[in-house]
């Protein structure tokens, strides 16, 4: 082993461990071609609508929609929490439906209409749910709040369209926003501060129901 790795420098080791080159072997011909590692990610040009504005970007095919929004479009209201689709902090609306943007590749959304928390309302003209979260103190640290609000917007639209959930007892009847329905439908959005009662109150005040 010493004969094989004796010429390996720290730089060679770092490059090799990153998958960009093979490990050089002692005694190899000096004029041997450089080792070829994994090719870089293929880039694609993507056009989509974000918060009502058309955006055309060059994006690595491996980039998630979340990272496109945050890193390239600088819409940092959408938060990166678990990065595994488990906490809901990255929830946005895609063509009106709520999704976890950390689980979706950006290149999967050509021509889509994406709405982030920045696109729901602005100071002086807040979305009703944004105003309700403020009025009902539906947050503490605020990190999960953008995802909570975007998810609530999508959830109330689902309810309005009569889409059942696992908590819906009668699939033939239009579901109402009961406490069980609200908990089930918002269960994908976690609040580590535990502000759930105020979050539920904020959503209920906008829905006009009693949960």
For residues 162 and 95, the answer to whether their CB atoms sit within 8 Å is no
Reported CATH class of domain 42-120: alpha beta
**How confident is the model over 161-187, as pLDDT tens digits?**
999 999 999 998 889 899 999 999 999
Question: For the chain, percent helix, then strand, then coil, each to nearest 5?
Answer: 35, 15, 50
Which among 3, 104, 25, 16 is positioned nearest to 62, based on CA atoms? 104
> What is the reported pTM?
0.79
| Sequence ranges of the chain with CATH classification 1.10.150.120 | 121-211
Of the options 3.40.50.1360, 3.90.1720.10, 1.10.150.120, 3.30.70.1400, the CATH number for the domain spanning 121-211:
1.10.150.120
For residues 181 and 174, the answer to whether their CB atoms sit within 8 Å is no
Could you list the pLDDT tens digit for every one of the 211 residues in the chain?
444 445 556 666 555 555 544 444 444 444 544 444 435 668 999 999 999 999 999 999 999 999 999 999 999 999 999 999 999 999 999 999 999 999 999 999 999 999 999 999 989 999 999 999 999 999 999 999 999 999 999 999 999 999 999 999 999 888 989 999 999 999 999 999 999 999 999 999 999 854 4
Which among 117, 133, 126 is positioned nearest to 197, based on CA atoms? 133
| Sequence ranges of the chain with CATH classification 3.10.20.30 | 42-120
Which among 116, 102, 94, 33 is positioned nearest to 67, based on CA atoms? 102
């Amino acid at each position: 082993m010493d004969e094989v790795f004796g010429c390996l420098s720290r730089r060679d080791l770092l490059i090799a461990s990153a998958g960009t080159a093979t490990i050089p072997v002692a005694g190899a011909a000096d004029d041997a071609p450089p080792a070829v590692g994994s090719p870089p990610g293929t880039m694609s040009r993507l056009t989509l609508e974000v918060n009502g504005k058309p955006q055309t970007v060059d994006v690595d095919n491996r980039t998630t929609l979340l990272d496109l929004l945050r890193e390239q479009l600088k819409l940092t209201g959408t938060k990166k929490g678990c990065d595994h689709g488990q906490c809901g902090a990255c929830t946005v609306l895609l063509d009106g439906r709520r999704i976890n943007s950390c689980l979706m590749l950006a290149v999967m959304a050509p021509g889509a209409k994406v709405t982030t928390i920045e696109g729901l309302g602005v100071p002086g003209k807040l979305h009703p749910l944004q105003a309700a979260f403020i009025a009902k103190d539906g947050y503490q640290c605020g990190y999960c709040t953008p995802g909570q609000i975007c998810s609530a917007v999508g959830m109330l639209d689902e309810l309005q369209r009569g889409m059942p959930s696992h908590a819906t007892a009668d699939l033939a009847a239009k579901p109402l926003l009961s406490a069980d329905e609200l908990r089930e439908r918002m269960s994908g959005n976690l609040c580590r501060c535990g502000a759930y009662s105020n979050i539920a109150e904020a959503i209920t005040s906008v829905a006009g129901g009693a949960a």
